[in-house]
Structure 1
Amino acid sequence: MSMLTVQYRMHELIMKWSSEELYDSKIRAHPSVAAHVLFDLDDVKRSSSTEPTLLLIDIAGCDMEEKKDEEDSTLNEGEAEVAIAHAKRLVHSGVQASDIGVIAPYAAQVVLLKMMRSNEDKLKDIEISTVDGFQGREKEAIIISMVRSNSKKEVGFLSDRRRMNVAVTRARRQCCLVCDTETVSSDKFLKRLVEYFEENGEYLSASEYSNE
């Protein structure tokens, strides 16, 4: 008899990718959470930012290449700006800043995101951390900045399945992936993640967040 696990945290679309990819489709969402969305929360308005459960913001073709810092950690300024711009839209729609988390796999990107957060008083309660910093915890909305964007299509340790699974499944009601789909799709596992978001969620070009 196969074990079926019921989880009480995530919307079923967030959970389903993880369930199929890593758990043989043996995880189910409890009916109390299976369809919950951001605009069900008190004082949150229904908007184009709060409606999607899965949102892919693509920086491909937007001239947002990654860079290295002095410690050889990777960062991506343009992508960080897009992640912060989406967080701002959520707060503007009534989502509490403390209900939003931003996850980046690279320490340099976390530092950069925190600097950008400090310029915006209404964002000060947003939590920004590496994947490991969010282990075992959850937020209503999670924004993942994947950082890598390069002509060689190198993804580094983004292809670590366990880590990416932890990042996506921290989200209860919305998971937003900010990435260069051309770079990350060079890895088969990440390509399936991108395709899952494209098929089951909303797709936006990062250019829609410029000037914010």
Structure 2
Amino acid sequence: MARENGLQKSLFALLAEAHPEAIVTLQYQYRMNKDIMTISNTLIYDNKLKCASKSVAQRQLDLPHFQQALDSIHGGASCTKQSCWIEQILDPSRKVVFLDTDKMSATEERIMETVVNKAEASIVLQLAEALLLAGVPEERLAVISVYRSQLRLISQSLRGRPGVEIATIDKYQGRDKECVLVSLVRSNETGKTGELLRDWRRINVAFTRAKSKIIIIGSSTTLSTTALFGIFLELMRTNNWIYQLHLGAENEHTIQPPPSPREKRNREHKTHSPAEAILKNRPILRDVYNSSSL
């Protein structure tokens, strides 16, 4: 509808086209480390973007409880620590990771007019919980996707983590987090990516919200059918930033997220016996009850 009425361009874009002499190109940025900045530099800024300082360029995700998190997620897990994909992905030295789902059973699903990818949602849940267990505060972690239906699916899994921000790319303009997980969703035999993944201003926003680490999840085969994602994937290969997930990876860890605040209240309420409710705030009656129980 907006496109039909001539609103496909923002007011800022129209002003920039009308008065190019008034535009000053951003050169120094204070948000992203060098690896994350390289994505935007390659796709959008023609390598003109620079880190404002050495500390910004070398920024790295702090995981103070990394080993404890690994011990926790491997209780009853079918994978071993020696070959654990979560351990390799969480490695703080890996600041940009593209998780390729091509070898998994991770085909998108259509529900009415919406598109979801349950395998990607499972991967996001496991990574999010592992990051939180490793010491990333909830308020410093975000999950982003172009599809609201995918975010609703992920929100259900992470309902016990109210501090984790789960939002569309459009809502994340101008904001940032230490670590960002991006679910691209589209994975099909015909290579259809949809209109949303062709909007590179929108995709650039998604890829530049992270300060220390970004994990992008998607199908390289499907995404490579678009020209700019082809460039993106080549950048990932050149820098050895692609991690190929194997078949069944989403089922190797049995990670149980904490209950939501409402679920927690309900569980606590159910643990109280009728006697506890009667004896509450009645110390004399409680003494009599305890004496009769001896």
TM-score over 0.5 (shorter chain): yes
Given that 1:38 and 1:44 are in contact with CA atoms closer than 8 Å, whether structure 2 keeps it comes out as no
Structure 1 position 166, deviation (Å): 0.2
Matched position secondary structure for 1:38: coil
Matched position secondary structure for 1:82: helix
1:81-136 C-alpha deviation (Å, 9 max, x unpaired): 11111111211211112111110111100111101112xx3x33111111001111
TM normalised by structure 1 equals: 0.89
CA distance in 1, matches of 2:116, 2:250: 19
Matched position secondary structure for 2:37: helix
- Which residue of the other structure, out of 171, 179, 183, is the alignment partner of 2:210? 171
Report the structure, 1 or 2, having the larger strand content: 1
Given that 2:97 and 2:215 are in contact with CA atoms closer than 8 Å, whether structure 1 keeps it comes out as yes
Given that 2:101 and 2:244 are in contact with CA atoms closer than 8 Å, whether structure 1 keeps it comes out as no
Given that 1:58 and 1:180 are in contact with CA atoms closer than 8 Å, whether structure 2 keeps it comes out as yes
Say whether residues 1:66 and 2:108 are aligned partners: yes
Say whether residues 1:141 and 2:179 are aligned partners: yes
Structure 1 position 62, deviation (Å): 1.1
CA distance in 2, matches of 1:9, 1:205: 29
1:99 alignment counterpart: 140
1:29 alignment counterpart: 51
Given that 2:33 and 2:59 are in contact with CA atoms closer than 8 Å, whether structure 1 keeps it comes out as yes
Given that 2:223 and 2:229 are in contact with CA atoms closer than 8 Å, whether structure 1 keeps it comes out as yes
- Which residue of the other structure, out of 27, 38, 44, is the alignment partner of 2:61? 38
In structure 2, relative to structure 1, the CA distance for the partners of 1:45 and 1:74 (3 Å cut) is same
Structure 1 position 188, deviation (Å): 1.6
TM normalised by structure 2 equals: 0.65
Matched position secondary structure for 2:182: strand
Given that 2:60 and 2:212 are in contact with CA atoms closer than 8 Å, whether structure 1 keeps it comes out as yes
- Which residue of the other structure, out of 168, 189, 200, is the alignment partner of 1:130? 168
**What is the identity percentage for the equivalent residue pairs of Structure 1 and Structure 2?**
29
1:54-85 C-alpha deviation (Å, 9 max, x unpaired): 11111112111111223x12111111111111
Matched position secondary structure for 2:229: helix
- What code does the residue aligned with 2:197 have? L
Number of aligned positions between the proteins = 205
2:28 alignment counterpart: 6
Structure 2: which 5+ runs fail to align? 1-23, 68-86, 254-294
2:227 alignment counterpart: 188
Given that 1:16 and 1:25 are in contact with CA atoms closer than 8 Å, whether structure 2 keeps it comes out as yes
Given that 2:65 and 2:133 are in contact with CA atoms closer than 8 Å, whether structure 1 keeps it comes out as no
Larger Rg: 2
Say whether residues 1:203 and 2:217 are aligned partners: no
Task: Work out which structure has the larger RCO, using CA pairs closer than 8 Å and 6 or more positions apart in sequence.
Answer: 1
Structure 1 position 194, deviation (Å): 2.2
Matched position secondary structure for 1:32: helix
In structure 2, relative to structure 1, the CA distance for the partners of 1:91 and 1:204 (3 Å cut) is farther
